[in-house]
């Protein structure tokens, strides 16, 4: 009985995450179009793209190994796994145990490893470049995330995301939010870290890693990227807003509103800011890490357990 309810919970969560994820890039693009005075693509554009890509033929490089197709699939499964650890509303996460916060960080890392390996598989200089940047910048981003999790851990005395994210982040909330927001932009390859729309391969990170992907694997990659964006938006929202004690309806409304607001914010930043030169990216990420570190110090001082 318990197994049945928990598997229904898991399946429902997967469905919600996967269905809603492609909405966010659409929202961001719409915001960018509005600010630029264009009409822009429809909000549901990514859904159409995914459906079309899923039916398409694929062009595979002659150099690639089976890892080229396996990589996106593994990355996608890892991201879905990470999404299952995040609580949605009062019922908590479908899968929750002490230590799942660490697992969350390492599932994101698994997705990164799979993507970078699939990129190196093509033997292209550009894709090597993208993979190198991705894994290097992720070192700093990951340090910021674990610091943010330590903040939440100090406040709640727990290592499970469901319990860590129920209350707000306390006195250091603003610092933590700023730090996590920068990590969100970096990890999802958004301005000012990466330009999702550029046409110059030399200056890209994420997009250049997937140059040689097409058809269904590309659909899986795009869907995974959207899912990762949603995961970070939800993580940011729940770290800042105390959703733990609210009624279900309010939780859904707050979560939805805050996630949309974050997406709009990403769109606004993207319209206002130019991409940073690559040598400045580590500095910005270090700033994000330091913000989280200050939040940790505040949390430590405020919680003499």
Partner 1 sequence: MTPGWLVFAAGAGVVVGLCGSRAPRVWLTATVAGAAAALAAALWVLIAGQTWDWRFAVTLGGEALHLRLDGISAFFLALLALVGGLCSIYAHGYWRDEDHPASAPSGRAWWSTVLVSMALVLLSTNGLHFLVAWEAFSVGNYFLITRERHKPEARSAGWLFLVASHAATLCLIVFFAGLAARTGSWELGPMQYRSELAPWFWLALLGFGIKAGFFPLHIWLPSAHANAPTHVSALLSGVSIKMGIYGLVRFSGWMPAPDGAGWVIAAAGAASAVLGVAFALGQHDLKRLLAYHSVENIGIILIGLGFAMVAAAHEEYAWGRLAMAGSLLHVWNHALFKALLFMGAGAVLHSTGTREMSRLGGLWRAMPWTAALFLLGAVAISGLPPLNGFVSEFLVYLGLFGAVSAHTSGSWTAAPAAILLCITGALALACFAKAFGVVFLGLPRSDAVARAHEHASAMRVPMLLLGLACVAIGLVPAAVWALLAHAIATWQPGWTETAPPASVVALSEFHVGVAVFAGLGVWALRRRVVRNGLTRAPTWDCAYARPTARMQYTPGSFAAIITAWFGWILHQRRRVVRPAGPFPTHASFEEHTPDTVLDQVVRPGGVLVMRAAGAARRLQHGRIQAYVLYVLIGVAGLAILAVTGGAR
Residues 31-90 that bind partner 1 (CB under 8 A): 54-67, 69-70, 72-74, 76-78, 80-81
Residue 167 binding partner 1, by CB under 8 A: no
Q: How far is the CB of 161 from partner 1 (least distance, A)?
A: 12
Show the tokens assigned to 229.
């964006």
By beta-carbon proximity to partner 1, the closer residue of 187 and 238 is 187
By beta-carbon proximity to partner 1, the closer residue of 81 and 167 is 81
- The footprint of partner 1 on residues 103-132 (CB under 8 A) is 103, 105-107, 109-110, 112-113, 116-117, 120-126, 128-129, 131-132
Question: Looking up tokens 């979560």, which residue turns up?
Answer: 255
Only segment of 43-51, 174-182, 269-277, 295-303 that touches partner 1 (CB under 8 A): 295-303
Task: State the Cα–Cα distance between residues 201 and 211, nearest whole angstrom.
Answer: 9
Residue 95 binding partner 1, by CB under 8 A: yes
By beta-carbon proximity to partner 1, the closer residue of 131 and 185 is 131
Only segment of 22-30, 136-144, 183-191, 229-237 that touches partner 1 (CB under 8 A): 136-144
**How far apart, in Å, are the Cα atoms of 264 and each of 30, 61, 242, 259?**
9, 37, 21, 9
Question: Quick one: which of 26, 22, 28, 27 has its CA closest to 191?
Answer: 28
Q: What residue spans of 168-302 are helical by DSSP H?
A: 173-187, 206-209, 215-240, 248-272, 281-302
Structural contact between residues 147 and 293, judged by C-beta atoms closer than 8 angstroms: yes
- The footprint of partner 1 on residues 222-281 (CB under 8 A) is none
Using a 10 angstrom Cβ sphere, with 0-12 exposed, 13-18 middle and 19 or more buried, the burial of residue 274 is: exposed
Show the tokens assigned to 74.
């593994």
Residue 212 binding partner 1, by CB under 8 A: yes
Q: How far is the CB of 72 from partner 1 (least distance, A)?
A: 7
Could you give the angle at the alpha carbon of 257 between the alpha carbons of 233 and 292, nearest 5°?
A: 35
Q: How far is the CB of 186 from partner 1 (least distance, A)?
A: 13
Residue 216 binding partner 1, by CB under 8 A: yes
């Amino acid at each position: 009985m318990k197994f049945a309810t928990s598997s229904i919970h898991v399946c429902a969560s997967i469905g919600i995450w996967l269905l809603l994820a492609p909405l966010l890039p659409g929202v961001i693009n719409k915001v960018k179009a509005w600010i630029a005075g264009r009409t822009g693509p429809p909000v549901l554009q990514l859904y159409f793209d995914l459906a079309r890509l899923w039916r398409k033929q694929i062009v595979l490089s002659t150099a690639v190994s089976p890892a080229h197709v396996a990589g996106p699939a593994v990355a996608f499964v890892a991201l879905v796994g990470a999404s299952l650890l995040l609580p949605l509303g009062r019922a908590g996460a479908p899968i929750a145990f002490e230590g799942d916060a660490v697992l969350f960080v390492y599932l994101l890392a698994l997705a990164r490893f799979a993507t970078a390996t699939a990129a190196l598989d093509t033997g292209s200089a550009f894709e090597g470049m993208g993979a190198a940047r991705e894994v290097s910048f992720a070192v700093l981003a990951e340090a910021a995330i674990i610091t943010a999790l330590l903040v939440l851990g100090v406040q709640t005395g727990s290592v499970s995301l469901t319990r860590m994210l129920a209350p707000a982040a306390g006195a250091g909330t603003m610092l933590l939010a700023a730090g996590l927001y920068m990590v969100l932009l970096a990890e999802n390859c958004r301005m000012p870290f990466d330009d999702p729309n550029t046409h110059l391969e030399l200056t890209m990170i994420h997009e250049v890693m997937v140059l040689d992907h097409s058809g269904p694997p590309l659909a899986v990659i795009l869907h995974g990227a959207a899912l990762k964006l949603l995961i970070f938006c939800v993580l940011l929202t729940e770290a800042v807003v105390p959703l733990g004690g609210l009624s279900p309806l309010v939780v859904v409304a707050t979560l939805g509103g805050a996630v949309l607001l974050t997406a709009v914010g990403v769109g606004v930043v993207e319209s206002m800011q130019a991409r940073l030169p690559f040598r400045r990216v580590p500095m910005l990420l270090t700033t994000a890490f330091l913000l989280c570190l200050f939040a940790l110090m505040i949390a430590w001082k405020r919680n003499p357990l």
